[in-house]
Structure 1
Amino acid sequence: MSGYLTAPPPERGLFCNRTLNMRAIKAIGYDMDYTLIHYKVEAWEQRAYEHMRNRLVALGWPVAHLTFDPMLAMRGLIIDTEKGNLLKANRFGFVKKALHGTRPMDFETQRNEYTRTLIDLADRRWVFLNTLFSLSEACLYAQVVDLLDAGKLPGPMGYTDVYEHVRRSLDATHMEGALKAEIIADPARYLIQDPDTTLALLDQKNAGKKLLLITNSEWAYTLPMMHAAVDPYLPQGMTWRELFDVVIVSARKPEFFTTRSSLFEVVTAPGHEGLLRPHSGPLKSGVPYFGGSATEVERFLGMSGDEILYVGDHMFGDVHVTKNVLRWRTALILRELEDEIRAISAFRATEARLAEKMVEKERMEAESCQLRLELQRRKQGYGPRDSSMPDDQLHARVFELRTQLEALDAEIGPMARAASELANPIWGLLTRAGNDKSHLARQVERYSDIYTSRVSNFLFATPFVYLRSPRGSLPHDPSLPGGTPVFHTGVGGDGGAT
């Protein structure tokens, strides 16, 4: 990337829900996994999946033949643990698409199951896929639901029991550390290198921002991964630890932002690397810590609230809680956004044709409705009536419009289906549920001040940028020229293809 400012590609933008003046931000905190460090999702999730599957095999479950399907789940979906379903909901919590296990649910079944249901994520029945780390869990759960329905699992179990087994296998995989040991041993297989992330951090530090690393990963994993991802792109003789004024590992987010817990210093002396000793008093720059709380960080920095920006990829643990409890400014990292925006851009010409056809369809539907009302009033003998056309001509015109609408639907159908399959053939766009915003998009809109695909996108904007939110849209706002709806890359806009 050039040292001179150039306009970023559309998919590399910073998208602003609430105006953010970066000059007013004195400290920037970062999560590590899928924020500062990006992984090859399919490689990581496949190995996580295989570790989980092997644990279930050890319990006697007939799952050894199962394989990871990267298209089966996506961030922002919801698991209905009571019914064994994967769901995509709109911003209001209404279910718009569902799989039972791995099988698509037909319209009537979905309607019967969910027409009276509003998803409330406070209910433990629903599990929201907050991060890319959730994909292997959701995939394995859906596949095991198929086995449960086929009567192939041992013992009496329901869908909730199956989910708890899968979840425990995932937790055990992470706790035992075998998967992370594989990553450390061969980082090139799993890491996506992004040299510009390091340059963006250097820009921010040299602009006077305090930089914080607050991660749930343990020190033994954080140290080699940050070394592999950041150190090769720093000035000679400098390491990633010199970039950060505060380093906290094993932070236990989201509790880190809501409660107080004991703070330990991580020993880095040779021969004692990774040991912990209790810490009291102010934090020390350059010393990694274990645990603690956000209030200690604020006290050390002498800052609070909107002076601090926190950047992370976890919708709840990084963004929702931080905004709700601390009123820090928030940035959400959505790596999938790049593919989404590229898919929308490639579909633009078809979207314009689809919009034209929809305008034509609405015009014909309006005429058909008006003619039917005219026939109704004539038959019932009430209200004002138009006598310019005899009944037989009215009936003929209604039939003609019906025929034309059927032909138009045959044209619209394939384009609408293609729109619903953008980015993912099962679920479509991350931020859309039909023509509405998805439940994830509503969360992004509510809790993240800005969102972007990767930290290095800050490089395009500089540490001094004033990010202004666009004017929000409402259904009664004037349409765009020509009445053509447009996919908006910002969550705050509306539009869509179907």
Structure 2
Amino acid sequence: MIFNKASRVCRVFEHHRKRFYSIIIKDELSGNYTLNDAYNHAKKKCQCKLSKKLPKDVTKKGVFACNELDLKEINVYGFDYDYTLAVYKPAMDFLLYDLGRNLLISKFKYPKGISELEYKPNWAIRGLHYDIEKGLLMKIDSFLQIQFGTVYKGLTPISEKEVLRLYKNKNIPLAYVDTHGKNHQYITSKMVQLADLFSVPEMSLLCNVAEYFERNQISYNPEILFNDVKTSVGMGHPLMHSLVIENTAEYLEKDPKLRIFFDRLREHKKKLFLITNSPYKFVNAGMSLVLGEDWEEFFDVIIVQARKPMFFTDESRPIRVYCKESNTMLWDKVTELKKGTIYFEGTVKQLMAMTKWKGEDLLYFGDHPYSDLADVTLEHGWRTGAIINELNHEIDTLNNEDFKKNCSWLAILTQLIEDQQDSQEPDARETLKKWEMERDSIRKQLKSVFNPQFGSVFRTHNNPTYFSRRLFRFADIYTSQMSNLLEHSITHTYYPRRGVMPHEYASLFV
């Protein structure tokens, strides 16, 4: 019985290996086959298999595991606010863009002509890098390689030849990209990664203004432009807060299942806390919409204006009580954290000391891999979950039938090129060049369906992006929205899938 079961497993793995990774040509063709025969046979085989069955769709409600996580061990649930519990509508991007653009004109005296530059939805994606010195926006993979075709000066793409002239090769030195030392200064002197969704309208404004300067032949310093745009968008946040408070429903999505999720946590006696960089009145307006007017009753600890990531890294910074009536902070010394009291600033060490919580019992959700997740998992042993709203669009794209077909043919064509690249057939180089051009065309198509300029948030042509590599390192699980956890029980264990290493793909037991 055991032998038969193992044999069936072997056959299943062999079937999938042949289907997706290998084309066995020589066994099925005569000894006089040509490269064109091999290509036609591979194409026919791909079409035949795809006509029978396409890969299954990925569920948009999925919770994806990077590391094994047993919810039975979790007694404390923590949450960020922005883009974690509060999911914003596209109107928020337009608002932040308009406020930043107007401040560039009124505060920094930029040309009034930029008032005509409108926000471009779907122009940029999260996770891109901006070279402050050269004024270039680009996508970098997990090996610190620039993805050609995703480097822009303003709204204009930069050629591969120009990129190589500027950087000497396609690899960016680690020190140029990542100088996240103990102080976690995420804006470096060379390059900055724009890792949260609030940065997307900022990127659009940056590129729009740079393009305006380039086309009108106005001399500018890229570093000054970057700083001015960042400052303007940041200065617009207080006004953004007041406008959202006045009309919260215009800017926030309401997930009716979120309250059900919180009710379940409370029913199972879980401790809950909220740590956010946003001010109380802004949070109160949003939480009242998404959870209800009694939202504070869910939480054992609420900390606003925490100034993450410094909340997680500073050694000493007093936690203070926020007074709702006077909208100010009190000077009393805080010796315990009480439910029903709103707190301001502080440090993670104070939080853990006063609550007696243990890191391994705690699961914290946020949207920013660095500000929310990196320090708590690396330094404090917390378990972490990332809320990545873009997953809905990414999964919709992955589930598209044409996308699946193109991916399958790309895998087979790539294998065919690899297998036949040493062919001694006359005109082999010309034939292989045609195949490589077709492969390049398919890869561009697959990239553009995610985003015409930059492709997928999670991958370049072959590799994970710099963003997704950090996400997978710092998050135990990730999903598109909090309520997706309702799909599983409160005692569910999330298991990561066994990945296939390059040296394992031909093995039956992967």
Shorter chain as normaliser: what TM range? 0.7 to 0.9
Per-residue displacement from partner, 1:451-473 (whole Å, max 9, x unpaired)?
11111111112221111222233
The percent identity for this pair of structures is 28
Matched residues in 1 for 2:98 and 2:91: separation? Answer: 11
Matched residues in 1 for 2:130 and 2:233: separation? Answer: 15
Per-residue displacement from partner, 1:412-469 (whole Å, max 9, x unpaired)?
4442221121321111111102211100111012111111111111111222111122
Partner of 1:84: 135
Matched residues in 1 for 2:437 and 2:473: separation? Answer: 38
- Which of 491, 494, 497 aligns to 1:470? It is 497
Partner of 1:249: 304
Matched residues in 1 for 2:220 and 2:488: separation? Answer: 53
Partner of 1:328: 382
- Which of 341, 349, 361 aligns to 1:295? It is 349
Paired residue type of 2:291: V
1:341 equivalenced with 2:404 (yes/no): no
**116-125 or 455-464, larger mean C-alpha shift:** 116-125
How far does residue 21 in structure 1 lie from its aligned partner after superposition?
1.0
Paired residue type of 1:22: L
Matched residues in 2 for 1:410 and 1:160: separation? Answer: 38
- Which of 175, 185, 192 aligns to 2:246? It is 185
- Which of 461, 471, 489 aligns to 1:444? It is 471
How far does residue 276 in structure 1 lie from its aligned partner after superposition?
2.5
Distance 1:473 1:357, change over 3 A: closer
Matched residues in 1 for 2:217 and 2:232: separation? Answer: 19
Structural mapping, 1:56-95, within 5 Å: 56-58=104-106, 59-62=108-111, 63-95=114-146
How far does residue 161 in structure 1 lie from its aligned partner after superposition?
0.9
Partner of 1:39: 88
Per-residue displacement from partner, 1:221-259 (whole Å, max 9, x unpaired)?
11111001111xxxxxx7111111111111111111112
Structural mapping, 1:82-121, within 5 Å: 82-96=133-147, 97-114=150-167, 115=169, 117-118=172-173, 119-121=176-178
Matched residues in 1 for 2:505 and 2:172: separation? Answer: 33
How far does residue 355 in structure 1 lie from its aligned partner after superposition?
2.1
Partner of 2:197: 132
1:29 equivalenced with 2:78 (yes/no): yes
Structural mapping, 1:260-271, within 5 Å: 260-268=316-324
**353-362 or 80-89, larger mean C-alpha shift:** 353-362
Structural mapping, 1:383-402, within 5 Å: 397-399=425-427, 401-402=428-429
The answer for unaligned runs of 5 or more in structure 1 is: 1-7, 232-237, 372-396, 482-492, 494-498
Q: Which runs of 4+ in 1 moved over 6 A?
A: none
Structural mapping, 1:381-460, within 5 Å: 397-399=425-427, 401-409=428-436, 411-460=438-487
Paired residue type of 1:308: L
How far does residue 187 in structure 1 lie from its aligned partner after superposition?
1.6
1:356 equivalenced with 2:407 (yes/no): no
**404-413 or 201-210, larger mean C-alpha shift:** 404-413
How far does residue 72 in structure 1 lie from its aligned partner after superposition?
2.2
Secondary structure of 1:437's counterpart equals: coil
Paired residue type of 2:209: V
Secondary structure of 1:427's counterpart equals: coil
Matched residues in 1 for 2:245 and 2:87: separation? Answer: 14
How far does residue 213 in structure 1 lie from its aligned partner after superposition?
0.7
1:148 equivalenced with 2:213 (yes/no): yes
Asked if the contact 1:218/1:250 (under 8 Å) is kept, the reply is yes
Per-residue displacement from partner, 1:97-117 (whole Å, max 9, x unpaired)?
311121111111112223153
**112-121 or 55-64, larger mean C-alpha shift:** 112-121
Matched residues in 2 for 1:218 and 1:262: separation? Answer: 17
Paired residue type of 1:166: V
Asked if the contact 2:100/2:229 (under 8 Å) is kept, the reply is yes
Paired residue type of 2:99: H
